[in-house]
Chain A
Amino acid sequence: MKRKKSETRAAVMTPLTTTSQNKAREEKLGSVVEGRLKTYDSGTDNAKAFVALLRRRMTRQIAASLAACVHCGRCAESCHYYLARPGDPTMIPVWKADQVRRVFKRYVDWTGRIIPGWVDAWTPVDDEDLNRLKDVVFGTCSACRRCTLNCPMGVDTALLIRFARGLLTELGIVPEGVFNVSRDQWETGNQMAVTEEDYGETLQWVKEELQAEMKNPTVDIPVDKPGCDFLYVINPREIKFDPRSISHAARIFHLAGESWTLPQKGWDMTNFGLFSGDDSLGGRMAGNVYEAAARLRAKRIVISECGHGYRSTRWEGFNWAGVDQRLPMESVVVTLDRYLKEGRIKVDKTKNPEPVTFHDSCNIARSSGITEEPRRVLGRVCADFREMVPNRTENYCCTGGGGLLSLPEYRPLRLEAAKIKAEQLRATGAKLVCTMCHNCVDGLSDVIKHYKLDMKVVQILDLVNRGIS
């Protein structure tokens, strides 16, 4: 009876793999030994621990969102997973949130404690139940918040999904990808385990190439320069796979006569804590950036093009770290918008003649309110800009959000759900899709490849750099 509805087959069912966790324990990694990075313990009553954590971590916002849902089902058609699989009722956002709501009803809310069956309240019995929940909250939702903005009751389903992820992360019942990236962030201070040497060497050769390209030996990529106007923080992907974006930014900052620096430590503004639901990791990573800015006496922080990095550093990080914001902070796209407005850089839109469309990152548009600045910039640097429909806060996820790019076991379902994004992209007729998020670059690239679309992904820095006259 207890298990009845929990056994509804989820769209994906994967075993709990703990190879990386076991290795981390054997190697006695600092983060594991110190208890910051949690690992799975099969000898513990994890179901009981899950319930205890749920009760302990309950906040007013989460309780209200859990209690208020009326099961109207209006969220269904705002979800790209459901739209791509309309015959699968487990794709409806409320069903996903209900998997944790039912535990809330059984242990926190009123009616479910007395008559559980009446409100379908439920108790997870064993690790198998928790593993099934893992597949739902990590594998079938990109936490894009589209359903949240479409809920008549104001239920923040993405918040609930993150809450459930956080409880499972605490118990080590997570996909391998979540553990691996969290481990790298805890251990190395960045999510791609970039070493200090790699960081320094990459910046050095990027600088040398830029100096050669601009025929100007004074062009610099400063590191740890104190007292600058701003501290620039980046995504490790820029060091590892896409150093051009650092080069573009450095060139533009130089032309704008900017006083800026990268930090030696605390340069990674990405934050897997947002995806794993681990507030302590979130606070640590964001705290590294805030500390770097304070150490270097920067007047503000500028965040490179990254959706979840921007949201985590600009908004959530302070709340996770429990510190008040002291410095102003902005996305580099806002900085570019200002340069163009003030005439600090000159651009020629004929240098970007291809039809370009813009993909709003969920974390940038729906969770951070930046929708017009990128359009103003693109309007100045592109000859043929086309909106995709829907757009801004109603745009569909690139399908790589919520950490899904690090979780290969959920890729087939993600790409199936990407049908909606592919149709949206195709309808624009654009040859370039521009986004201001490194995660979206990879997500969109997957969609384009899988659905054989004739377009390429670029970022705003790419187009501004190309458009500079």
Chain B
Amino acid sequence: MSPLLKTLENEVQIAALLFMAAVYMIRLAWLFRFKSRKERTFAEGKEAAGIGRSLLNIAMPWAVESARKKPGVYLQFVIFHLGVAAAIAATFIIPYAPGVFKITAVVRIFQVIIGAAFLVGLMRLFRRLKNPAVRLISTADDYVSLILMVLFFAAGFLAVPNTYRSSEAALIAFFALTAFFLVYVPFSKISHYLYYPFTHFFLGRTMGHRGVYPVKRREKGGSG
């Protein structure tokens, strides 16, 4: 292992992680600086149930019309985010539990997931460029974040075999991208996962309080 890779895998990654954690703490403090509205009405439902339903939204494709109507798009979402999870896991496995990637089956599973996410990333990029509506709402950050993710998946796909002789360049690229991500993410749209619990908490609390969530009955067609 080259000294550069060793530094990237350890000191640089730890420093970048600490930086990200610090920025996230500041980010949360920033969000909590804004006043929150107090609910003053009698409840019709249970807030906790509404919050739970809202937080589980992404795991309930049947409950969301857009996912139900376009299951392929939902599948892309699942693959993309599984790829993110696998690639992030790899950034810890490689330096701290390298034995895991000595098992060929594990490497192949990671490569299949990350490789599929890479393809989905390309499809998403294509859609962002092709669909006029999505193109109109896209910012430089939207494009760059997606391109960076695609590159991250590509590097991750090549890096997970974790063999210095054949894939050190890929490992260096992978860990360099990881460090860059950790610093860049809090300032980009990729930080959306930080807000997910809050937006769904707020929406779910209101909807649960009013008895909208959990939805009482699913849509039913035909004669009633």
**B199 in complex: contacting residue of A68, A117, A149, CB < 8 Å:** A68
A61 touches B135 (CB 8 A): no
Closest residue on chain B to residue A365 by CB atoms: B212
Among B36, B40, B200, the one with the most A-chain Cβ atoms within 10 Å of its Cβ is B40
Q: How far is the CA of A76 from the CA of B133 in the complex (A)?
A: 8
B224 touches A379 (CB 8 A): yes
**A64 in complex: contacting residue of B31, B66, B137, B189, CB < 8 Å:** B31
Q: How far is the CA of A386 from the CA of B223 in the complex (A)?
A: 4
Contact with A along B183-224 (1 / 0, CB 8 A): 000011100100110111011100100111001110111111
Q: How far is the CA of A176 from the CA of B189 in the complex (A)?
A: 38
Q: How far is the CA of A82 from the CA of B200 in the complex (A)?
A: 24
For window 128-184 of A, CB contacts with B under 8 Å fall at: 148-150, 152-156
B45 contacts A by Cβ under 8 Å: yes
A384: B residues at CB distance < 8 A? 223
B140 contacts A by Cβ under 8 Å: yes
A73 contacts B by Cβ under 8 Å: yes
Contact with A along B57-71 (1 / 0, CB 8 A): 110000011110110
B139 contacts A by Cβ under 8 Å: yes
A76: B residues at CB distance < 8 A? 133
A393 contacts B by Cβ under 8 Å: yes
Are A325 and B139 also in contact (CB < 8 A) when A73-B134, A391-B220 are? no
In the complex, how many residues of chain A place their beta carbon closer than 8 angstroms to a beta carbon of chain B?
73
A369 touches B139 (CB 8 A): no
Are A77 and B212 also in contact (CB < 8 A) when A95-B136, A319-B38 are? no
A323: B residues at CB distance < 8 A? 40
Closest residue on chain B to residue A311 by CB atoms: B210
B199 touches A110 (CB 8 A): no
Contact with A along B91-117 (1 / 0, CB 8 A): 000000000000000000000000000
B210: A residues at CB distance < 8 A? 315, 367-369
Contact with B along A350-371 (1 / 0, CB 8 A): 0000000000000001111111
A281 contacts B by Cβ under 8 Å: no
Closest residue on chain A to residue B136 by CB atoms: A89
B212 touches A367 (CB 8 A): yes
Question: Can you list 17 residue pairs at the A/B interface with Cβ under 8 Å?
Answer: A64-B198, A64-B202, A70-B192, A71-B139, A73-B134, A75-B66, A77-B66, A150-B65, A154-B57, A314-B41, A318-B40, A368-B211, A369-B212, A372-B217, A386-B224, A390-B65, A394-B219
A419 contacts B by Cβ under 8 Å: no
B37 contacts A by Cβ under 8 Å: yes
B187: A residues at CB distance < 8 A? 110-111
For window 326-366 of A, CB contacts with B under 8 Å fall at: 328-329, 365-366
B195 touches A153 (CB 8 A): yes
A98 contacts B by Cβ under 8 Å: yes
B131 touches A73 (CB 8 A): yes
B69: A residues at CB distance < 8 A? 77
A118: B residues at CB distance < 8 A? 139-141
In the complex, how many residues of chain B place their beta carbon closer than 8 angstroms to a beta carbon of chain A?
63
B64 touches A152 (CB 8 A): yes
A65 contacts B by Cβ under 8 Å: yes
Closest Cβ of chain A: how far from B176's Cβ, in Å?
21
A375 contacts B by Cβ under 8 Å: yes
A94 contacts B by Cβ under 8 Å: yes
B64: A residues at CB distance < 8 A? 149-150, 152
Are A68 and B41 also in contact (CB < 8 A) when A95-B137, A118-B139, A371-B216 are? no
A452 contacts B by Cβ under 8 Å: no
B188 touches A328 (CB 8 A): no
Which residues does B use to contact A, with CB under 8 Å? 27, 30-32, 34-42, 44-45, 54, 57-58, 64-67, 69-70, 73, 77, 131-142, 187-189, 192, 195-196, 198-200, 202-204, 207, 210-212, 215-217, 219-224
A153: B residues at CB distance < 8 A? 192, 195-196, 199
B202 touches A391 (CB 8 A): no
B195: A residues at CB distance < 8 A? 64, 67-68, 153
Closest residue on chain B to residue A117 by CB atoms: B140
Q: How far is the CA of A175 from the CA of B128 in the complex (A)?
A: 34
B223 touches A89 (CB 8 A): no
**B41 in complex: contacting residue of A73, A87, A318, A371, CB < 8 Å:** A318
B57 touches A64 (CB 8 A): no
B221: A residues at CB distance < 8 A? 387, 389
Q: How far is the CA of A65 from the CA of B192 in the complex (A)?
A: 10
B137 touches A60 (CB 8 A): no
B141: A residues at CB distance < 8 A? 111, 118-119
Closest Cβ of chain B: how far from A317's Cβ, in Å?
9
A90 touches B136 (CB 8 A): yes
B137 touches A154 (CB 8 A): no
**B202 in complex: contacting residue of A60, A90, A315, A375, CB < 8 Å:** A60
A74 contacts B by Cβ under 8 Å: yes
B196: A residues at CB distance < 8 A? 68, 153-154
Q: How far is the CA of A258 from the CA of B196 in the complex (A)?
A: 48
A98: B residues at CB distance < 8 A? 137
Contact with B along A106-123 (1 / 0, CB 8 A): 000011000001111000
Q: How far is the CA of A393 from the CA of B77 in the complex (A)?
A: 24
A59 touches B212 (CB 8 A): no
**A369-B211, A369-B216, A386-B224 given; 8 more Cβ-contact pairs under 8 Å:** A68-B195, A69-B192, A89-B132, A118-B139, A156-B202, A315-B41, A319-B39, A325-B40
Closest Cβ of chain A: how far from B178's Cβ, in Å?
20
A111 touches B188 (CB 8 A): yes
Closest Cβ of chain A: how far from B132's Cβ, in Å?
5
B192 touches A68 (CB 8 A): yes
B133: A residues at CB distance < 8 A? 73, 76, 82, 89, 91-92, 95
A78 touches B199 (CB 8 A): no
A392 contacts B by Cβ under 8 Å: yes
A7 contacts B by Cβ under 8 Å: no
